[in-house]
Amino acid sequence: MPEPTLPSPTSPKSHYSKHIILTTYPGQSGIDPVPLEWGAADAKSRGPVIVSRSNNLVKRRNAIGAHGGSYSIYNALAVAAGELDADFRPDLRNSQPTFDFPWQQAWGDKSKIVSMDPFGHDIVNQYKEELEAGWDIRPTMAVTRANMKLAEIAEAVRDGQLEVDGSIVVDSSGEVRVTKVAVEPVWYLPGVAERFGVDEGTLRRTLFEHTGGSYPELITRPDLKVFLPPIGGLTVYIFGPPERVSDEKVKLALRIHDECNGSDVFQSDICTCRPYLAFGIREAIREAQNGGSGVVIYFRKEGRALGEVIKYLVYNARKRGGDTADKYFTRTENIAGVRDMRFQALMPDILHWLGVKKIDKMLSMSNMKHDAIVDSGIKILERIPIPDEMIPSDSRVEIDAKINAGYFTTGKQITMDDLAAVRGRGWEKWEDVEH
Ligand SMILES: [Zn+2]
């Protein structure tokens, strides 16, 4: 087999020389990372996160990876296509948060926050001089506000389950006001390793090997402790005044929701995701209307972080193998090797960032979420399962399998014999149709 040759940039649009910096090493000439002290109490003493590879900054970088999470690839495409200048600097005028979240002790605690930059929302303010001097420092968080409309919320208003208060639920059409926080992942590698009970070297080596060797500095630059991984982030939806989220004197209703596009957006009835999301939003609004606070946090972890391709393969295996609840998790394990890759260990970071000390109403049945939150030092006072009438009939397979596996329920415990009798809809109705 011929040796692959390295393609040289031949496009007239390319701005690259033939010399490629494959990686860097500590002690190499000019390597001088801008100091970054994760866990420092304020942004100035912590230092900005810099991943830029532009010519004048590549040797001063103090983090591995690229901005934008999974969108970093589109960013690279835009540069390749000549649509985006490689040395582009954003003009961040007027982009500042619509609400100034109060500083929390956890922002300066490197054991409490390891998967996001606690100062990532306030870059323009905190690093004004550095930005003016031409440093490429970018926000990894953004805070905005919006109005939203959900069919289930409109229905709840119509049925009198939710009131129109003019401030949270704005009108009888069910329009709701919300504060939103978008967060891109920024990992402090020693802290992430600790959460998963592995040593940092093993984590770095595994991230390097299993991304096709995409980030060689994970191996060559042990002095760089921060990595911006190419994965999805999260969005916080806050109902009611955002200052109430960290106020221990008022009640907090909270749902942690992991993405399920097929159900959340397209309302597939094979699982309970959208109904539980809608229930979470409704209860969050209700709590805010009662003088408390309501928060829904949406994590981009499609299909238990296995992705939609794996998810659909599992659906097929379930439907062809007799879709019973007792085999629900085995089908996933057969195809993915594990039943779940969401690993909730990093999830509580955002709660600590928000200043949450206790959750009065946890709108989730997941023990993994519950245990991760409680183990991180936040109390959960009450757990509220999805009401039975909101569960689509074909999704009983999923929900009963989860209850059997130890998900929280206030109803009856379910045995393996019960599970064998819980069967999902087959494809008969589809397959009878002449195509
Ligand atoms: Zn789902």
DSSP element (H, E) containing 29: none
Render pLDDT for 167-216 as a digit per residue (tens, 0 to 9): 999 999 999 999 999 999 999 999 999 999 999 999 999 999 999 999 99
Render pLDDT for 358-403 as a digit per residue (tens, 0 to 9): 999 999 989 999 999 999 999 999 999 988 888 887 788 777 887 7
Average of per-residue pLDDT across 302-318: 92
Q: Is 312 within a domain?
A: no
Q: Is 195 within a domain?
A: yes
Distance 370 CA to ligand 1 centre (A): 19
Confidence of residue 435 (pLDDT cuts 50, 70, 90): very low
Task: Enumerate residues with CB within 5 Å of ligand 1 (an ion).
Answer: 260, 263, 271, 273
* 70 pLDDT more than 90: yes
Dihedral of CA 258/261/264/267: which sign?
Answer: negative
Better-predicted residue by pLDDT, 318 or 235: 235
Q: How far is CA 333 from the centre of its chain?
A: 23
Q: Is 93 within a domain?
A: yes
pLDDT computed for residue 187 by the predictor = 98
* 433 pLDDT more than 50: no
Distance 39 CA to ligand 1 centre (A): 36
Distance 304 CA to ligand 1 centre (A): 9
Q: Is 322 within a domain?
A: no
pLDDT computed for residue 148 by the predictor = 97
> Which residues are marked as active site?
340, 342
How far apart, in Å, are the Cα atoms of 298 and each of 96, 185, 347? Answer: 22, 14, 11
Print the domain residue range for 125. Answer: 17-136+188-225
Distance 134 CA to ligand 1 centre (A): 45
Distance 435 CA to ligand 1 centre (A): 28
Token pair for residue 138? Answer: 């970018």
- 88 three-state secondary structure: coil
Beta carbons of 75 and 153 less than 8 angstroms apart: no
How many folded domains does the chain comprise? 1
CA torsion 209→206→332→344, rounded to 10°? -140
Q: Is 332 within a domain?
A: no
Q: Is 83 within a domain?
A: yes
Confidence of residue 9 (pLDDT cuts 50, 70, 90): low
Q: Is 330 within a domain?
A: no
Q: Is 39 within a domain?
A: yes
pLDDT computed for residue 244 by the predictor = 98
Distance 269 CA to ligand 1 centre (A): 8
267: left (phi over 0), alpha (psi -120 to 50) or beta: left
